[in-house]
Structure formats: structure tokens, C-alpha cells
Amino acid sequence: MCGILGLLLHDPTIDAAVEICEGLSLLQHRGQDACGIVTCGPKGRLYQCKANGMVRDVLDDKAVGRLIGGMGVGHVRYPTAGGSNHAEAQPFYVNSPYGIVLAHNGNLINSTTLLQYMDATAHRHINTSSDSELLLNTFADNLQQTGKFRINEEDIFTAVGGLMKQCKGAYACVAMLAGFGIIAFRDPNGIRPVGMASRRASTGKDWLFASESNVADAGGFSDWEDVKPGEAIIITRSGVSRRIVTEPATFAPDIFEYVYFARPDSVLDGVSVYRSRMAMGDALAEEVPDTSRVAALNLAQKLELPYREGFIKNRYIGRTFIMPGQQMRKKSVRKKLNAMALEFADKNVLLVDDSIVRGTTSKEIIQMAKDVGAKKVIVASCAPPIRYSNVYGIDMPSPSELVAHGRTTEEIAKAIGADLVIFQKLPDLIASVRQFNPTIETFDCSVFTGEYVTGGVDEGYLAYIESLRNDHAKNGTVPTGVKAVKVKDANDLNGFSGPVANGADDTVGLHNSWNIS
Ligand SMILES: O=P(O)(O)OC[C@H]1O[C@H](OP(=O)(O)OP(=O)(O)O)[C@H](O)[C@@H]1O
Ligand SMILES: NC(=O)CC[C@H](N)C(=O)O
Ligand SMILES: [Mg+2]
């Protein structure tokens, strides 16, 4: 999952970068791997700073001070395609046509086809294994085809419409055209979130696009509105233009945003994440003979059991599930959470978490609770068992890494060392979220069901991404031996070797040197 942000200030003499940076730090929970900002200053010049690392490290005062201009785009990255190298940090830039910058949240499932098209037809050079670079070039190619010396809103709608025909998968995007304005668009299924808000500024308005509404709240923006599925919104200093640019498709936001990804103080697609998590706790209570903190509190109240914070969290260790390798995740859970012996000694405890994915967290914390004297440890998960790959922007490519894959509930309990595991039922999870916005037709629940809302995800594709992105491939630790994966049907690409796995990806890349003095 990534965080995206666009800001256009009414007064172009005020630099937007400081606020973009603050906004990105509010989206840090969506991506910890890399971050970046590109701004547009006088004469349409673009200024960029992006690198691996957290917002506070990459975007320090000095770096932000060099980013000139009253509009810009920002990104925090959690890789789901390509590798984790600097070159794949976002936003991406392409000079032709017009100078375009793009920040993407989501994941494309037809990268191979797009790559072939870029090479054989559009003749555009793709320098990384990132699907987001392909997305940007698809946008650029569609804009190029309008053939205009100067672009207008109509051309942009046409280009985004063309992109939506070509790109399959999940994409919530914020783009910027040099000297023109900022643009947001969202895939036809609306799988990933992005919204818009505005704020009065002297004689006009400042405009914000962001993955989550918490950014708008903190910046004093109001009138938060979600970008609709299949919609493109263009903001220039002359105003706002918006249009649904594609055929309607099933609106299916990813339910895992509510379970885990989004901050509880955000409202996504009209649903308060906080209230949906409280409802998850209520529903889960029905199953007993958080993230999860909100749910745990409600669950405890309903069961009339005392609610305690049995683990103290080190707020300086980031999210563990979105860390790249299993060793790191495991070590970080121990560093992040410490069991309060007082709360556990000689007690039977019910631990509530928002989800059990690889089982890293639950396995560690059950052991920690037992180490400080817990008698019985029962674990309740606000999400149902996760048994299938995610292909839309959550890095869960490999079912065999999921603790629930191929296991019954009893076997999962055994694998994580729990006395009992209780899972939320899928209809209850869906109802917990949907009750707050019944206009959402359905959700992408593919990690629970193996049913993919976009189509185009068959066994061959799932095997392909698994070979590319399982933990061994990412860390270059074999045993799968995946070093570089040949693009399917790549005969006409002059031997071009397609996306390579993380650990094997030693691309130097065309990236900026961010820490120049
Ligand atoms: O079964 P696993 O593979 O461990 O994944 C599930 C865990 O990962 C997440 O926590 P994370 O540490 O990422 O973030 P949080 O602090 O927001 O809970 C989630 O909240 C679960 O605790
Ligand atoms: N999690 C995401 O949204 C990732 C965006 C993009 N697929 C990347 O890997 O950079
Ligand atoms: Mg957690």
C-alpha cells in the first residue's frame, strides 16, 4: 500500500513542499520503504527529492527547502512490484509530453503486456521494474496521441480514458503536468482510495488530493470528497474539472483498508474507519464462547470483560507487516511490543488483533504473553483467515507464506501457539463496513475468497507473481532460484528481461542524489 498526495496552492509564490511533507508523514503508515516529493516552480521547472527511507529521514528541512513551487505531488512507498531500490521511489517523472509526474497507489496486473506495448509500439524506454513507471508512460503515450502543442482538460480526460482501457488492476493516482495543474484518477473498480478537499486562501482556494482524509483534517481543508471509480479530476489555478472517463464497473474498494491499512481517524468512501473497526469488535464478540485497539475495546465491553493494553508499543518501530523480509518482521515485533507481566500473570487472556497474515505478530506475542505467566492465550482476529494472494497493492503474493493457507482454524492455532483462535466471519466483516455506506456495492475481498474483482487473474498469473515476489525471491535467498524472470512472450523484446525480484535487482537507476550538501 502506498500513500499519495497532491497539493495546489492558490498563491504560487508559497512553496507547497512543506505541507506536502507534513501530509506524507500523516500517510507514513501506508508505506515505509521510500518517499518523495516533486514540486513545480516558476517557468514550469520541476524540483524533486526522493529516496529510500521514512519521511522524516529523506525529507529533512534542507531537502524540503530546495523544493520550490506552489504545487506538487508526494508519495510514500510500500513496494508491490519491482524492487525496493532508490530508482523505484516515487513520484516518477517523464519529460515528454509536457513534463509529467505521477504518484501511484495500487498494483497493475498486466505489466507484461504494457511493457511489450511500450517497447514495440510506443517506443518508450522503461528504466525500472516498477508498474508505476509503466502507468506513467501509458498516461504519457495517451497524452502524446492527442498531438497538441498546448494541452487542455479535454485532452487529459481523453488520455486518462485511454489509460483506463489499457491498464488492468488497482490504481489510485495523483499526477502533475508542469506549469498546468494536478490531476487525480482512480481505477474503474475504485479498489484503492483517493479523495479531494479544499481550503479558502485569500482570493481563491487551495486544493488537496490525498489517499486518506486525515491529511485534509490536519491541514485545515474541508469538503472532503472521494474521487469516484473511473473518474479523473483536474485542478488548475482557474478551477476544477471532473469527469467519469470510463465505462461503469463494480465499485469494490479493498476491505483490508478498513481492517488494517487506513488510519482510524480517516473516512474512506463515506465510511469512518474508526466506526467500522468498532463494529468489527462488536461482530467479533458474537464469535467468542484491533488497528485492533478500537475493536478490542468494543469487544471487551460487549463481553463484559476487562479491557487492558497488555502490550506496550514502541512508537518508533514502524508497521511490521509491511516490512520487506521475514527476519526483519520477526525481529521488529519483539522490538516493537513488550508484554506487561502484571496484566498477564496467571490469567487466561484474549488477544485481539485486526488480522493474522503470516502469523509473525501473533506467534511472537502469544509466546511473550506465555513467557510472562499467561495461563491460556486465545487470539481473536477482526478479519477472517487470509488464504489467497493480493494482487492490488498489498504485498501478499505468496499463499504459502500465509499462516492460514491450507490450514484449518485448529491448525492455525497450533502453528501460532494459541490455545484457541477465533476469526471474524466474512459476512460480518462486510456488514461492519458496509452499514455505514450501503451504496458500496461490494468489496474486494480476494485475500479471503480468492475471487478477483478485475478478472484477468488466473492461476498462471498468480504463479508468476509468486515466483517473482515470494520472500526468498525478494531477499535473493533462493531456494526457488528466482533471479530474473523472463517476460512472457518476450521474443520480440530483443531478449529484454522483465521485472526482476527485489534481492536480485541491482538496478543502479536514474535517481537523484538526495543528500547533496
Ligand atoms: O500476521 P502478520 O504477518 O504478523 O500480520 C498481521 C499483523 O501485522 C499488522 O501489524 P503491524 O505491525 O504491521 O502494524 P500496526 O502497528 O499498525 O498494528 C496487523 O495489525 C497485525 O498485527
Ligand atoms: N503499494 C503500492 O501501492 C505500490 C505501488 C507500486 N505498485 C509500487 O510498487 O511502487
Ligand atoms: Mg498490528
DSSP category for residue 492: G
pLDDT in tens, 318-337: 888 888 888 888 888 888 89
Task: With a cut of 80, say whether residue 502 has pLDDT above it.
Answer: no
Which ranges of 312-445 would DSSP assign to H, the alpha helix?
326-336, 341-344, 360-371, 409-416, 426-434
More confident: 322 or 408: 408
- 131 Cβ contact partners less than 8 Å away, ≥ 6 residues apart: 80, 81, 82, 104, 107, 108, 111, 114, 169
Q: Which of 6-20, 164-178, 291-305 has the lowest mean pLDDT?
A: 291-305
The rounded Å distance from CA 353 to ligand 3 centre is 6
What pLDDT, on the 0 to 100 scale, is given for residue 289?
66
pLDDT in tens, 187-234: 999 999 999 999 999 889 999 999 999 999 999 999 999 999 999 999
Pocket mutation for ligand 1, best pick of 1, 32, 280, 361 (most atoms within 8 Å of C-beta): 361
The ligand 1 atom nearest the CA atom of 360: 4
Mean pLDDT confidence for 401-418 = 97
Q: Whose CA is nearest to atom 8 of ligand 1?
A: 321
Residue 367: CB atoms within 10 A of its CB come to: 15
Residue 89 sits at the vertex; the CA angle it makes with 265 and 27, to the nearest 5 degrees, is 5
> What is the largest distance, in Å, between two alpha-carbon atoms of the chain?
75
Beta bridge partners of 469: none
CA dist., res. 222 & res. 245, Å (int): 26
Quote the percentage of the chain above a pLDDT of 90.
Answer: 72
17 near 91, Cβ under 8 Å? Answer: no
Helix, strand and coil percent figures for the chain, each rounded to 5: 35, 25, 45
Assess whether the C-beta atom of 79 lies below 6 angstroms from ligand 2. Answer: yes
pLDDT in tens, 242-272: 999 999 899 999 999 999 999 999 999 999 9
pLDDT in tens, 14-46: 999 999 999 999 999 999 999 999 999 999 999
Mean pLDDT confidence for 177-186 = 97
Assess whether the C-beta atom of 381 lies below 6 angstroms from ligand 1. Answer: no
Residues noted as catalytic: 2
The pLDDT-based confidence of 132 (bands split at 50, 70, 90) is: very high
pTM for this prediction: 0.90
The rounded Å distance from CA 304 to ligand 2 centre is 42
Among 100, 89, 97, 133, which Cα is nearest to 115's? Answer: 133
479's grid cell = 531456494
Assess whether the C-beta atom of 1 lies below 6 angstroms from ligand 2. Answer: yes
The ligand 2 atom nearest the CA atom of 31: 1
Distance of CA 181 to CAs 178, 234, 305, 452, Å? 7, 7, 54, 34
The ipTM (two decimal places) reads: 0.95
Consult the annotation and say whether 187 binds a ligand.
no
Assess whether the C-beta atom of 134 lies below 6 angstroms from ligand 2. Answer: no
More confident: 155 or 488: 155
Task: With a cut of 50, say whether residue 482 has pLDDT above it.
Answer: no
Return the amino acid letter for 99. Answer: G
Residue 123: CB atoms within 10 A of its CB come to: 8
Consult the annotation and say whether 354 binds a ligand.
yes
Assess whether the C-beta atom of 3 lies below 6 angstroms from ligand 2. Answer: no
Assess whether the C-beta atom of 319 lies below 6 angstroms from ligand 1. Answer: yes
The rounded Å distance from CA 339 to ligand 2 centre is 34
The ligand 1 atom nearest the CA atom of 353: 22
| Ligand sitting nearest the alpha carbon of 396 | 1
The rounded Å distance from CA 355 to ligand 3 centre is 7
Q: Whose CA is nearest to atom 15 of ligand 1?
A: 319
| Ligand sitting nearest the alpha carbon of 323 | 1
Task: With a cut of 50, say whether residue 489 has pLDDT above it.
Answer: no
pLDDT in tens, 420-436: 999 999 999 999 999 99
The rounded Å distance from CA 394 to ligand 2 centre is 8
Q: Give the CA dihedral 387, 392, 394, 399, nearest 10 degrees.
A: 30
Among 380, 387, 388, which Cα is nearest to 413's? Answer: 380
Assess whether the C-beta atom of 35 lies below 6 angstroms from ligand 2. Answer: no
